[in-house]
């Protein structure tokens, strides 16, 4: 290896003090969000499931708009794919949840110092994914208990019942989308200073032609 090649290799290598995202921060936010989800699901199961499984109890929080009601959701967030057969649905969601966890951790290890939205969004999404994965392993379904709805013309129009894990996942995805938007804005030059223009210098005057012989 020549001296020039060695210099180029040293220039390309990252500095010793390069930013490394805190794995402790990732673990703490993930554990807190997953614990909040599992604790709330435990409360919902104990307080709302009732003796009659076909007719769960409910708690009215905001009249005609917001209730707590115990349900088991075999599908994904917002009841996605809940009609899929059990022998396909459960392995599918277990695989998707596990793959999402691996993907989130791998992306988190590569974020930069200024990506604050991604630094919060990834652990929140990871905590939500872990919370729902624990439910799928234990019950084959996910406990949902947050029910928003409105009443129009005497009919109740419900948003699909959800849980704290779904809230964490949606918040994480929104933060990741915000990070993508901010990154594109920076790459477009809106967030970077414009480099100063080089000063204009006058072109040197061309040399004057030599006079013909006899005219000097």
From 135, 147, 166, 179, active-site residue: 166
Percent of the chain with pLDDT over 90: 38
Each domain of the chain, given as residue ranges in start order, spans 19-187
Q: In the block, which residue shows the tokens 């013309």?
A: 153
Q: What is the pLDDT, as a whole number, of residue 139?
A: 86
Is 144 labeled as catalytic in the residue annotation? yes
Alpha helices in the chain (DSSP H): 3-12, 23-48, 86-108, 116-139, 164-187
What are 2-50's pLDDT values in tens digits?
Answer: 555 555 554 454 444 577 888 999 999 999 999 999 999 999 998 888 6
Per residue in 104-159, pLDDT (tens digit) is 999 999 999 889 999 999 999 999 999 998 998 888 888 999 999 998 888 888 88
pLDDT for res 78: 54
> What's residue 4's pLDDT?
55
CB burial class (10 A; 0-12, 13-18, 19+) of residue 82?
middle
């Amino acid at each position: 290896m020549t001296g020039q090649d060695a210099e180029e290799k040293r220039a390309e290598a990252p500095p010793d003090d390069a930013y490394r995202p805190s794995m402790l921060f990732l673990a703490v936010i993930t554990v807190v969000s997953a614990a909040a989800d599992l604790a709330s699901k435990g409360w919902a199961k104990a307080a709302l499931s009732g003796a009659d499984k076909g007719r769960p109890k409910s708690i009215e929080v905001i009249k005609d708009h917001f209730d707590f009601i115990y349900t088991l959701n075999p599908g994904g967030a917002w009841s996605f794919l809940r009609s899929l057969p059990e022998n396909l649905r459960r392995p599918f969601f277990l695989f998707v949840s596990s793959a999402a966890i691996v993907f989130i951790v791998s992306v988190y290890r590569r974020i930069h110092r200024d990506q604050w939205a991604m630094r919060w969004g990834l652990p929140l999404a990871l905590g939500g994914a872990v919370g729902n994965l624990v439910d799928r392993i234990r019950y084959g379904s996910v406990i949902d208990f947050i029910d928003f709805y409105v009443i129009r013309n005497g009919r109740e129009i419900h948003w699909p019942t959800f849980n704290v894990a779904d809230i964490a996942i949606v918040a994480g995805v929104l933060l990741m989308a915000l990070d993508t938007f901010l990154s594109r804005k920076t790459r477009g030059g809106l967030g970077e200073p414009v480099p100063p223009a080089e000063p204009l210098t006058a072109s040197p005057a061309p040399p004057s032609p030599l006079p013909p012989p006899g005219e000097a």
